[in-house]
Structure 1
Amino acid sequence: MGWNTTAIFAAGWTTDRLLELAPDDLRHRPTGELVGLDEAGAAFPGGRLYVREDAGWAQLWDPELRVMPFAPEPGRDGLAAPGTRVLGVIFASVSSTYGFWYVEDGKLVRQIVFQDGEPVQDDGEPLPVESGIEFPEWGPDEDFVFAVIRAVTGFEPDDEPRYAVHEVD
């Protein structure tokens, strides 16, 4: 499966607080349905956001890339507040774009985005996990992003139905 999604992980946040990062014109409502990660990371059936809380981290997955997880500006959305730990990732297999940004104690400590195997954004010192990842010949892919997610959040992907579905209007 090719992954095409953005995801934001925020330590100590609730999913409701994380959903506030959605653009103002992106109205959403919970359906009461729970799905697995394969669906939360896929753009079908469309018109949905997916949220989960796990081990102290709230997660927001957006397979239509409407909630972009780029480094915050100071004071914006509370992402750059002291004490905040946030990891934002992008998987875009169609455009071969993979990357992440990581905020610790309200400051951007690392941001790297690859497109077609080449870095197009590279700020901050590499995280320790980055030195242990061997890229395939075509460059970084989903394995790279999931390795960073595991190292920063402790999250282990599974496909248990644990992602709450929010339909988007």
Structure 2
Amino acid sequence: MGWNTTAIFAADWTTDRLLELAPDDVRARPTGRLVGLDEAGSAFPGGRLYLREHAGWSQLWDPDLRVMPFSPDPGRDGLAAPGTRVLGVIFGSVSSTYGFWYVDDGKLVRQIVFQEGEPVQDDGDPLPVESQVEIPQWGPDEDFVFAVIGAVTGYRPDDEPRYAVYEVD
């Protein structure tokens, strides 16, 4: 499966608070359905957001890339408030774009984005996990991003998580 999605993980936030990060023109309504990560990380069928709370972290997955975790202003929507811990990631298998940004205690600590294996944005000191991941010759990929997610949040994609499906108008 090709991963094409953004995701935001926020410690001690509710999924409702994460939904507030969506642009004003995005209206999301719960469908009552639960799905696995394969659907939450895929752009098919589209027009949906996927949310989950687990182990103190809320998650918002957006395969249509409406809710972008990379912001020129990390202070938006309370992300720079003291005590805030947020990890935003992007998976773009079609464009070979992978990366993350990490806010700890309200400060942007690390941001790195790779496109076609080359860093196009690189701010802050690398997290220890970055040197522990074996990078294929073509550059960072899904395994790199999932390793960062696991190191920061404790999340593992093989946990068989269930995501609440929200339809987007």
TM-score normalised by the chain length of structure 2:
0.97
User: Are 1:71 and 1:101, in contact at CA under 8 Å, matched by a contact in 2?
Assistant: no
Letter in 2 for 1:138: W
Letter in 2 for 1:102: Y
Cα deviation 1:56-88 (Å, max 9, x = unaligned)? 000000001110001462542011111000000
Q: Which runs of 5+ in 2 are unaligned?
A: none
Question: Which aligned segments of 4 or more residues in structure 1 are displaced greater than 6 angstroms?
Answer: none
Q: Aligned pair in 2 of structure 1 residues 103, 165: CA closer, same or farther (>3 Å)?
A: same
User: What secondary structure is seen at the aligned counterpart in 2 of 1:77?
Assistant: helix
User: Are 1:11 and 1:86, in contact at CA under 8 Å, matched by a contact in 2?
Assistant: yes
1:133 paired residue number: 133
Q: Which runs of 5+ in 1 are unaligned?
A: none
1:63 paired residue number: 63
2:5 paired residue number: 5
In 2, Cα distance between equivalents of 1:86 and 1:28: 21
Cα deviation 1:104-152 (Å, max 9, x = unaligned)? 0000000000000000000000000001111111000000000000000
User: Are 1:37 and 1:159, in contact at CA under 8 Å, matched by a contact in 2?
Assistant: no
1:85 paired residue number: 85
- Aligned-residue Cα RMSD (Å) equals 1.2
In 2, Cα distance between equivalents of 1:102 and 1:131: 16
Instruction: Work out the number of aligned pairs and report it.
Output: 169
User: What secondary structure is seen at the aligned counterpart in 2 of 1:10?
Assistant: strand
Pairs within 5 Å for 1:110-129: 110-129=110-129
User: What secondary structure is seen at the aligned counterpart in 2 of 1:64?
Assistant: coil
In 1, Cα distance between equivalents of 2:42 and 2:9: 18
Superposition deviation, residue 158 in structure 1: 3.0
Letter in 2 for 1:49: L
Relative to structure 2, which stretch is displaced further, 100-109 or 130-139?
130-139
Identity of counterpart residues, as a percentage? 86
